[in-house]
Amino acid sequence: MVGLEWLKPAAVFGSILYALIGVLVFWISFVIIDKLTPYNLWSEIVEKKNVALAIVIAAKAIAIGLIVSAAVQG
């Protein structure tokens, strides 16, 4: 069967492993960004409704996601 190579256990396990590693790297990098900023990101965005900061953090999150995706793909 030519079309079902992706369904092999090794491919499925590898995909799950890379997804977990990608999420872990993304989470760690976000925590580092949160620690480097001089204020609490969550309270600034949610409680004080700082839209500009939310846009900047969203852009950083997208950029980190793209970097992690490119690193996983090779």
> For residue range 10-68, what is the model confidence (pLDDT) as tens digits?
878 888 888 888 889 888 988 888 888 888 888 888 999 999 989 988 998 898 888 87
Residues 6+ apart with CB under 8 A from 30: 60, 61, 64
Q: Is the pTM of this model over 0.75?
A: no
pLDDT tens digits, residue range 49-64?
999 989 988 998 898 8
DSSP letters for 13-28: HHHHHHHHHHHHHHHH
Q: Does residue 1 register a pLDDT over 60?
A: no
